Structure 1
Amino acid sequence: MMVNDQEGSGDRRPAGPITGEAIVMMFWFDHDVSGWGWFAISAGMIAFWALIIAAAVLLLRTLSRTTEPRPGPPPSPEQLLAERFARGDIDEEDYRRRLAALHASGPPTRH
């Protein structure tokens, strides 16, 4: 295709009329997206941002986690009775009577 370039005019346009072939050649990539294309793009965008947000939340939770010791098993009935006796909540006679009652009843059963 020839271009008119007259000296001093600065006019650069095609020498002849634009034909259908030139117009088709300019748009041969077909940028038109159908309904399914828009759906795929939208779903992909939502999935992308969901992954980014989930990764950020998991990273923040991991970095802000404190290392507190986990509580051990609960104290046995004998230990609780000994603690009460040590604090002075019960006297020695009461302690011995309750301890004998615990040992007479046998080991605790789990339900």
Structure 2
Amino acid sequence: SLNRIEFTPETVQHIRDNQECFGVELDEVAADELGVVTGSAMLKDETRCIRCGLCAMRCPVGTITMESYNFIPAEETGLISVEAIDRGLRPKAPVVGATAGGPK
């Protein structure tokens, strides 16, 4: 989830005062080094992020990045994976009480 934050001197101070909530560190930067910053930026709220990568794909200047990862296949449960649903592979009958070897 991204939140639009306007960068005014008051906002910079608000971010500095609440940096733990925003997941940023501004202590090393002196106020006079920041100057008056205008415009806006998008801050990613890590507590609401679902790691879909959409923000990184849509970032117009390429400043949002995400580490890639691969899913490790879980042991077979007889349940249908999201990948199977996306490919249109649906069961002919409801999967109830299925085991790794199929319905009993």
TM norm. shorter chain > 0.5? no
Higher relative contact order (CA 8 A, sep 6+): 2
Higher strand fraction (1 or 2): 2
Larger Rg: 1
Higher helix fraction (1 or 2): 1
